[in-house]
Amino acid sequence: MADVKNRRWGRLVALGVTLAVLVPLGYLWATSLVPGEYNPAEMGYADYGGGPPMGHEHHAMSGMSVADLTGPKTGTPNVDVTLVARKQKFQLASGETIDGYTVNGTSPGPLIRARVGDLVQVTFVNESVKDGATLHWHGIDVPNAEDGVAGVTQDAVPVGGKHVYRFKATQTGTYWYHSHQVSSDEVKGGLFGPIVIAPAAAGEVIATIHTYDGKRTLNGRTGTARVELPAGTTARVRVINTDNAILRVGLIGTPYRVVAVDGRDVHGPTPVTAAYPLPAGGRVDLEAVVPAGGMRLVAGTSALSLGIGPVDAPQGELQAETVDLLTYGTTAPIGFDPAKADRNFEYRIGRRPGFLDGVPGLWWTINGHKFPDVPMFMVAEGDVVRMKISNTSGQAHPMHLHGHHAVVLSRNGVAATGSPWWVDTLEVGNKETYEIAFVADNPGLWMDHCHNLPHASEGLMTHLMYEGTTTPYRVGGNSHNEPE
Ligand code: C2O
Ligand code: CU
């Protein structure tokens, strides 16, 4: 009798324990589900960064739809190109066959060149990318409706569809374009290309780095290549990292200067021989006078490099030393006072086990919250904004804010003392903290995400939103918009 009672009791305890585990798990699972289709303007919770919350009346007064924040609708474009996206097998310039995506039949796609003041018009045609595609102008602070983010600023262009982008080129620099629909797959597969805002110059060299199918390339070719330039030419090498991870790059054979970062000139750049750590999505312009013996752009190791000069420069590796923009160059005014910030945001990147959309895993968190319950950084036009980005997630993250350039104020509490360090893509290493600041001068709804694109698709993604912004676009479900 006592035995039976004990056994029954034992079973009850076991059931209790099972339920104690399963019920909260079930709850966590259920609450992690991302709605089938959602409005990105209503995602997560509002974070006003200590500034005044914007009420609904306010919304109504300043309410604006992303769709209305377009570039100039009239005017004859100075640059008028058509870019056609295809899913296809294609050959790298070095011969290897890749099954991926092309723009006008090649990857990288064609270089687009504009000058400051130009009206740029790009007619984007999706010939055969079955998930749909868009073009985002990475680092160009275009009006919101031209930003090319599926489900946020437009619908993904379906096979057979087209979309016209129009914007004014306002800042010189090295930029790139890429699909922002299923970007973790489409960018990786080749749906991107370079865009330079500057007149063509004799010493210009474009160096687009990308890994196709495990093969790292420079300008779509593996191994080494050569650019013929006479000795004495001032060469400006525009390096673009379209991959998901940081890469050390630099010139060997002569000292060089880091003259621009993320499309913004560096002030007072001095000659260096150290390597430059180029974040995923970031760009850097390296300048040097071509020596008689030639020089070499090295991307990672000299196995992937570009000999530049009258003769093929000797092989060699990058120095272990690294250029640090926190102290590089000389100070200059930044045009606003970060000490008088209207908003102070925190973007704390962490990681914890749980469910994301019902899938168990170790997921990224932003301020302790998992996607889609992440902070919506709310601003009003004209605000001076500070943001402290910290990272304890165990991995580095190249953080990219759309539509704005921010200046780095400090790293790990150490104030920046070099040239104003303007970024659109900032590598935040594990256990690092950066303080950045910017002026909210480009209304709309802007992505703020990790440019290691698989991380973004795993939820390391949120938005900066101007008060009262609305969007007619939706993510997921029947919209077929999947920006990450
Ligand atoms: Cu280069 Cu959100 O993108
Ligand atoms: Cu990341």
Give the pLDDT confidence of 330-382 residue by residue, as tens digits. 999 999 999 999 999 999 999 999 988 888 999 999 999 999 999 999 999 99
Atom of ligand 1 nearest to the CA of 425: 1
CB 180 near ligand 1, within 6 Å = yes
Tell me, rounded to whole angstroms, the distance of Cα 354 from its chain centroid. 26
Give the single-character DSSP code of 391: E
Strands (E), 310-416: 343-356, 359-366, 375-379, 384-391, 397-401, 406-411, 414-415
What is d(CA 138, CA 445) in angstroms, rounded to the nearest whole number? Answer: 15
Quickly state the pLDDT bin for 30 (edges 50, 70, 90): confident
Q: What is the CA radius of gyration of the chain?
A: 24
What pLDDT is stored for residue 62 in this prediction?
Answer: 56
What is d(CA 181, CA 153) in angstroms, rounded to the nearest whole number? Answer: 11
Written as one letter, the residue type at 331 is T
CB 283 near ligand 1, within 6 Å = no
CB 402 near ligand 1, within 6 Å = yes
Asked whether the predicted pLDDT for residue 56 surpasses 60, the reply is: no
| CB-count exposure of residue 153 (10 Å: 0-12, 13-18, 19+) | buried
Asked whether the predicted pLDDT for residue 424 surpasses 90, the reply is: yes
What pLDDT is stored for residue 58 in this prediction?
Answer: 46
Q: What is the rounded average pLDDT of the residues 245-262?
A: 98
Asked whether the predicted pLDDT for residue 470 surpasses 70, the reply is: yes
Ligand 2 centroid distance, CA of 55 (Å): 33
Cis before 108 (ω within 30): yes
CB 168 near ligand 1, within 6 Å = no
What is d(CA 286, CA 371) in angstroms, rounded to the nearest whole number? Answer: 38
Q: What is the pTM of this model?
A: 0.94
Atom of ligand 1 nearest to the CA of 187: 1
Q: Which residue has the higher pLDDT, 214 or 2?
A: 214
Quickly state the pLDDT bin for 13 (edges 50, 70, 90): low
Give me 19's structure tokens: 């339920």
Residues 6+ apart with CB under 8 A from 2: none
What is d(CA 437, CA 177) in angstroms, rounded to the nearest whole number? Answer: 25
DSSP 443-461: -SEEEEEESSHHHHHTT-E
User: From the CB of residue 477, how many other CB atoms can be counted at a distance below 10 Å?
Assistant: 12
Ligand 2 centroid distance, CA of 459 (Å): 9
Residue whose C-alpha is closest to residue 243's, from 77, 90, 453, 429: 453
**Nearest ligand, measured from the Cα of 463:** 1
Atom of ligand 1 nearest to the CA of 456: 2
- Angle (CA) 332 239 195, round 5°: 90
Atom of ligand 1 nearest to the CA of 449: 2
What pLDDT is stored for residue 60 in this prediction?
Answer: 44
Q: What is the rounded average pLDDT of the residues 143-153?
A: 98
What pLDDT is stored for residue 150 in this prediction?
Answer: 98
**Nearest ligand, measured from the Cα of 245:** 2
Q: What is the dihedral of CA 188, 251, 325, 234, to 10 degrees?
A: -110
**Nearest ligand, measured from the Cα of 281:** 1
Percent of the chain with pLDDT over 90: 88
CB 447 near ligand 1, within 6 Å = yes
What average pLDDT does the chain have? 94
DSSP 426-437: EEE-TT-EEEEE
The answer to whether residues 418 and 270 touch, using CB atoms and an 8 Å cutoff, is no
Residue nearest to atom 3 of ligand 1 (CA): 138
Give me 228's structure tokens: 């013929």
The length of the chain is 484
What pLDDT is stored for residue 59 in this prediction?
Answer: 46
Distances (CA, A) of 58 to 46, 469, 470: 15, 11, 13
Residues 6+ apart with CB under 8 A from 406: 387, 422, 423, 424, 426, 436, 437, 438
Quickly state the pLDDT bin for 55 (edges 50, 70, 90): low
CB 451 near ligand 1, within 6 Å = yes
Residue whose C-alpha is closest to residue 309's, from 203, 423, 195, 200: 203
Q: What is the pLDDT of residues 205-242, one digit of tens each?
A: 999 999 999 999 999 999 999 999 999 999 999 999 99
Percent of the chain with pLDDT over 70: 94
Give me 286's structure tokens: 């390296």
CB 400 near ligand 1, within 6 Å = yes
Distances (CA, A) of 66 to 248, 375, 467: 37, 19, 12
Written as one letter, the residue type at 114 is A
Ligand 2 centroid distance, CA of 11 (Å): 46
Ligand 1 centroid distance, CA of 203 (Å): 29
Quickly state the pLDDT bin for 298 (edges 50, 70, 90): very high
Residue whose C-alpha is closest to residue 188's, from 452, 474, 374, 450: 452
What is d(CA 408, CA 406) in angstroms, rounded to the nearest whole number? Answer: 7
Quickly state the pLDDT bin for 57 (edges 50, 70, 90): very low
- Relative to beta strand 264-265, strand 257-261 is antiparallel
Residue nearest to atom 1 of ligand 1 (CA): 138
**Nearest ligand, measured from the Cα of 349:** 2
Distances (CA, A) of 105 to 84, 438, 460: 8, 38, 32
